[in-house]
A and B are shown apart, each in its own frame.
Chain A
């Protein structure tokens, strides 16, 4: 790690003033940033500690929740309102990392965590377009079991590792931001960007901008929702494929459906095509399979991850079948 200065932000304004400064970085739980700085993948002259900013979860007028960026992953998963209204969010958080890491990790840091692509981590031995723009990518043509099948480019096929974000994009979560030019908000689905020719650009965040919180709108369908994570060991591992889904059936027809995928794309992947194929139709395995196939029609697997296409399809069908229950 190169030397850096450390300061504790007293409040958001203080954090912004300090964060605007050159190569300063915000430090939250540190579970990703400290690791990456130790590996010399990330560098900063100054760390602005935002982990002690207010961490509240509040009701919105519309029946949703606003979650402070400093709320710990463990606290969000355990919140009784989240457990009752958005079980897929609790389940996504509980499927991630370990209890120790969830006690440290914050909502803001989870959103901005970087890929776990092993070539990205291999500073000494591998080329990576994220680390050094234009250097080339040793993952493509290499060991690609953990890489993307949707949304990748020929420059980068790294996946976004977050479980929480998969549930949040399915729930249409909004990110609240504050920066030098004031406050703004955007759908979480628009925060992360696909790699294209510039895989080192991962979000539409502006320099020095702070995530102040996320807003989860009311979503009655989410009371019947879940998160299924398929991985190489049953706990403490990143997803090969994960599915967050909510399903509401009324009069034998699907009245609302939310589906998002993890482990398969450079960003949390909202399965809009699958949702469109299902809305208004009768629930059932055939319909679920057709919808999954519609979503995966553009899948472009690499040499080592072709299995993810059928794994994603089967997981979508199984998760929706479980949520439909008797209605299917």
Chain B
């Protein structure tokens, strides 16, 4: 079995100690996903595993066997693979563009994790999942207020304090009907 990373099969490493993060960065050469704390506390390493946002630093690569991993490199030019514009060569994903338009970053280190996390978050919201700040747990749908967004994105730290731009970017993308 292989790990499918942005649509391409990759072999499972022989050493089970290798994290999914190290596999991405050191073996596959996808350095968009960032190493921050390496202990689950910052969110810089967030990727989508079968569509769910997870921390690649605490996931052993071998645990992703047979599953789909999506990283920041897999977002640009999405859906254009048939036209030869897949991956980094294609136009930016609309959420990437929204981060640029709203100054959603300064140094950019947390950005790939923020963007992958936001895509997973919007999918959770679409499924009607509540958050810590959702007043009515029985509601099938929750509106994406700033408060909801901040709570749902609290697993992604930004040391540059770019949060207002990050929130604006995600809100704009969501309001335009953006989906994961």
Chain B residue, CB-CB nearest to A235: B154
Measured between beta carbons, the chain A residues less than 8 angstroms from B59 are 30, 34, 104
Chain B residue, CB-CB nearest to A95: B132
State the B residues within 8 Å of A (CB). 15-17, 19, 38-40, 43, 46, 52-55, 58-60, 62-63, 65, 117, 120-121, 124, 127-132, 134, 137-138, 150-152, 154-156
Give chain A interface residues in 1-31, CB to chain B under 8 Å.
1, 3-6, 8, 27, 29-31
A103 touches B54 (CB 8 A): yes
A99 touches B124 (CB 8 A): yes
**Number of residue pairs across A and B with beta carbons under 8 Å?**
97
Asked whether A117 is an interface residue with its Cβ less than 8 Å from the other chain, the reply is: no
In the complex with contacts A83-B130, A235-B154, A99-B117 CB distance below 8 A: yes
A6 touches B43 (CB 8 A): no
B55 touches A104 (CB 8 A): yes
Complex Cα spacing A34 to B22, Å: 14
Contact of B151 among A1, A90, A235 (CB under 8 A): A235
A236 touches B15 (CB 8 A): no
Give chain A interface residues in 27-56, CB to chain B under 8 Å.
27, 29-31, 34-35, 38, 47, 49, 51
Contact of B138 among A30, A83, A104 (CB under 8 A): A83
Asked whether A221 is an interface residue with its Cβ less than 8 Å from the other chain, the reply is: no
Complex Cα spacing A3 to B60, Å: 13
Measured between beta carbons, the chain B residues less than 8 angstroms from A98 are 43, 154-156
Distance (Å) between the CB of A124 and the closest chain B CB?
15
Majority SS of interface residues in chain B? Answer: loop
**Sample of 11 more A-B contacts, CB < 8 Å, known A27-B63, A104-B55:** A4-B16, A30-B58, A31-B40, A38-B39, A78-B128, A98-B155, A100-B54, A100-B55, A101-B58, A236-B154, A236-B155
Contact of A83 among B65, B132, B137, B154 (CB under 8 A): B137
Asked whether A167 is an interface residue with its Cβ less than 8 Å from the other chain, the reply is: no
Complex Cα spacing A47 to B62, Å: 11
In the complex with contacts A31-B40, A34-B58, A99-B155, A1-B130 CB distance below 8 A: no
**Chain A count of residues within 8 A CB distance of the other chain:** 35
Asked whether A171 is an interface residue with its Cβ less than 8 Å from the other chain, the reply is: no
Asked whether A84 is an interface residue with its Cβ less than 8 Å from the other chain, the reply is: yes
State the A residues within 8 Å of B (CB). 1, 3-6, 8, 27, 29-31, 34-35, 38, 47, 49, 51, 74, 77-78, 83-84, 87, 90-91, 94-95, 97-101, 103-104, 235-236
Measured between beta carbons, the chain B residues less than 8 angstroms from A35 are 39-40, 58
A74 touches B15 (CB 8 A): no
B16 touches A101 (CB 8 A): no
Complex Cα spacing A74 to B52, Å: 11
Measured between beta carbons, the chain A residues less than 8 angstroms from B52 are 103
Measured between beta carbons, the chain B residues less than 8 angstroms from A74 are 124, 129
B38 touches A99 (CB 8 A): no
Distance (Å) between the CB of B165 and the closest chain A CB?
19
B137 touches A30 (CB 8 A): no
Q: Among B17, B65, B127, B128, which residue has the most Cβ atoms of chain A within 10 A?
A: B17
Complex Cα spacing A261 to B137, Å: 22
Measured between beta carbons, the chain B residues less than 8 angstroms from A34 are 19, 58-60
In the complex with contacts A3-B15, A35-B40, A87-B137, A101-B155 CB distance below 8 A: yes
Complex Cα spacing A305 to B24, Å: 43
In the complex with contacts A104-B55, A236-B154, A4-B17 CB distance below 8 A: yes
B63 touches A49 (CB 8 A): yes
